Chains A and B, each alone.
Chain A
Amino acid sequence: MNPAEAKQLFEERLGRYQAAIALEPTDRIPIATGSNYFAEVYSGNNHQQTIYDPERWLQAEEAFMRDFPEVDVLRNNRIYAPLYDAVGCRTYRLPGRDLPPDTPFQFVEKENMKAEEYDEFIDNPTRFLIQRFLPRIHEEFAGPCTARSHLAWLKGGMAQMMMAQVMRQRTIHLEQHWGMPQPMAGFFLAPFDALADVLRGFQSMMLDLYRYPDKVKAACDVLVHEMAHLALAYADPLKRYPIFVPTHKPMFLSPDQFDEFYWPSFKKTIEILVAAGHTVRAYLEGDWGAHLHRLLELPKGKVLCDIDTQGDIRRAKEVLGGHLCIAGGVQDSLLILGTPEEVRAHVKELCETVGRDGGYIISGGCNFPYTVKPQNFRAMIDAVMEYGVYDPDIKPKPKPPQPSRVPVAELRPQQFITPWEVKKAEWGGVKGDEELIRRSWEQLEAMAYAWVWQWLL
């Protein structure tokens, strides 16, 4: 593909994707899952190769793009295993390391923060993560400080830069050679999930709702700002792509619990990010049926909601249609076990019902599974091309990039471990242009901050 073709294709795809999110007219329903597991292993590479060898990962996706050029986005952020190895991270079991190479990576849910540590966490969450949390999840940091542990921190930072380089090159390659945009850039967790996933763990968190309800709420309030800063650290500076948030625990909560513990801090985090000029892509994992109506409180056309396999896409459209775009609907089990004829009929029906009037994106339940049959995937695409067209005369164009940073009054300034003023005072002031020194000092503090917080995911 020559550069002009790639550019045109890139703009068409991105324009189509952005239009759907913004509930604006476009030419057809986008095919734009956030997590395309199927593409990651399409060329026959195993799961270990995907997370250890960026070249093999890219080759798999290039084979995928050749066979399925109608797909509109391909994800970029993926587990980069060398980073996990450098620090000895135990929150995931990785293929090739802890699991057979042909098994997907899996999250290990465990209590990594004790109930009696809530106050310490609330007082200074970043310090808590560094001093208490990371030594519990990174085996290299577990013991007292040694040459090995110091070096592990350094290697962790360097691996992060290696990963950033890999992702940057991928982004450029996908854009310039394949005309392929990203489904999202940057990530965060709902404050409740940040607390529940790796800090307290599922079991303990469910009990905390009864035993320490006030502490849970106070911790979620603090996490609003940390999560917003984390999201902004890795977000697309041009604001073309939504920021990604997977939601994990609402499916387990009663509507009252959701309203009391989950929603206020989650809503506030999203509002901050939208005020900063971004859009958000939220995976509504599990069944959000009891909580869907709350999403109407979010700004119109700014949040793309992925409906999971256990959710009801038709009901989601009824509730959210005209206010927020939804993605999903294609049954995972049908893609894996069904026939092309079944898939075709299923997708036709989705296009004609859920897809009608726009605001809809074709996807599986928050992903396309690893073990999709290729002929079923082809049948899905063909059905979208046939039944998912709105207006072939529309030529999708992306929205103008928004490079400027928008300050948000509701967002508290980042809490640095060593603020510039502290360092300056230790030095008794500086002799030259303070601004030159301060800027880089704070930039490195912010990068290290984001490094620490990403381990919540």
Chain B
Amino acid sequence: MTELAQALRDLDEKKVYALVDKKIEEGTPATSIIAECNEGIVAVGQLFSEQKYYISQLIFSAEIFKQVIKRIEPLLESTAAQDHRGKVIIGTVKGDIHDIGKNLVITLLRGAGFEVIDLGVDVPAEKFVEAAKDTGARVVGMSALLNFTYPEMKNVVDALAAAGLRDQVKVIVGGAPVNEKVRDFAGADFYAEDAVQGVNICKEIYA
């Protein structure tokens, strides 16, 4: 693991920025800085899986990563479009406006090299369908905090089927009130217990 990846893993904010600034000065390509950071983010996710890190640490690592991207954004414009691991559509289902969990998953997905299509909160079924149609993504992720949304998750899965897209996409559900029983009720393919597991499922789908 590189020094930069380690600093990010250890949440040493100042050191990360200093290393990134130095690399920019030295003319290191933006893509390789991102690759190092991705390695750090993956390590953070690993520590989370081992219960050595908690959500606060995931959030802080995401913030540091965001600041790094801000620093190298000017360089990114001049480089060609990056290779992505795959596209993932994600949104909080209709009726629910909570986004902490969803946003955390998005950061980790981007950290792992996915292209994320973020539909935001309170997303109606037709938006999920439209996005799946337009982007050709193979994963649709649904997030919720409130348990009155179970029927809405099922709605989305049914709408994907009605649009003839059910075989194209795998559907992942996640969020505080979700479990295996809810996944089964909604007809989704996977239930992600936490953000890191969600990312791992996406990796498997695109493997």
Residues of A at the B interface (CB closer than 8 Å) are: 93, 100, 103-104, 106, 108-109, 202-203, 206-207, 209-211, 251-254, 257, 286, 290, 309-310, 332-334, 336-338, 369-371
Contact = CB atoms under 8 A, between A and B. Distances in A.
B48 to A, nearest CB: 10
A106 B182 contact: no
Contacts of B53: 254
B118 interface: no
A290 B52 CA distance: 11
Interface string B58-94: 0110010000000000000000000000000000000
B56 A252 contact: yes
A356 B146 CA distance: 31
B182 A251 contact: no
Given A210-B13, A332-B177, A371-B147, A254 B54 contact: yes
15 contacts: A106-B98, A109-B100, A203-B59, A206-B56, A206-B60, A207-B59, A210-B11, A211-B13, A252-B55, A253-B56, A257-B56, A309-B176, A332-B177, A337-B182, A370-B148
B17 interface: no
A207 B179 CA distance: 30
A106 B57 CA distance: 26
Contacts of B177: 309, 332-333
B33 interface: no
A26 to B, nearest CB: 30
Contacts of B182: 333, 337
Nearest to A37: B148
B150 A333 contact: yes
Contacts of A334: 181
Contact of B97 (A93, A203, A207, A251): A93
A104 B146 contact: yes
Contacts of B185: 337
Contacts of B164: none
Nearest to A249: B56
B95 interface: yes
B27 to A, nearest CB: 30
A319 to B, nearest CB: 17
B56 A106 contact: no
Contacts of A104: 146, 148
A210 B54 CA distance: 14
Given A207-B60, A210-B13, A333-B181, A202 B100 contact: yes
A210 B15 CA distance: 14
A369 B148 contact: yes
Contacts of A93: 97
A425 B115 CA distance: 67
Task: From B54, B56, B57, B177, name the one whose CB has the most chain A CB atoms within 10 angstroms.
Answer: B56
A252 B54 contact: yes
Contacts of A100: 95
Nearest to B184: A337
Nearest to A337: B185
